[in-house]
Structure 1
Amino acid sequence: MGDTANNTENAPKKSFFKGVKSEFKKIIWPDKQTLAKQSAAVVTISVVLGVVIAILDVAIQYGIEQILKIG
């Protein structure tokens, strides 16, 4: 009885890894030029978004300081 329990536990693991391997074969990896363009786009958008957030932070902080001075 104990042997059948061990066999059923090992079977799903093997089929899982076979499934992962077959899925990895389906992946179409980008070429270097596409990868470079997409990476540059991500970095550029991240920097621009960071600058926008910093500007909004300074503006909101200035606005709150002005409101507190009035009160």
Structure 2
Amino acid sequence: MADSAKKEKANKPSFFKGLKAEYKKIVWPDRNEVLKQSVAVVCISIVLGAIIAVLDFLMQYGVDFLTSL
């Protein structure tokens, strides 16, 4: 039982060493790439918002038309 506790404690430092090694492998995007991706996200959000607004307007018009019959 004591042996397993020692092995468990021995694994923790290697976990953090591995974590540090993996963290160093991360390739962060440069400023231009972040700008391009941000512009793409904003444009797509605006387009999808407009599509949802049009669909909402059409559905509301349809429901109003059906309830007025």
- Give the shorter-chain TM-score range: 0.7 to 0.9
- The range that moved more, 4-13 or 30-39, is 4-13
Aligned residues: 69
- Counterpart position of 1:68: 67
Consecutive unaligned residues of structure 1, counting only runs of 5 or more, are none
- Counterpart position of 1:23: 22
Q: Cα RMSD over matched residues?
A: 1.8
Consecutive unaligned residues of structure 2, counting only runs of 5 or more, are none
- d(CA) in 2 for partners of 1:30, 1:8: 39
When normalised by structure 1's length, the TM-score is 0.74
- d(CA) in 1 for partners of 2:48, 2:41: 10
- Counterpart position of 1:56: 55
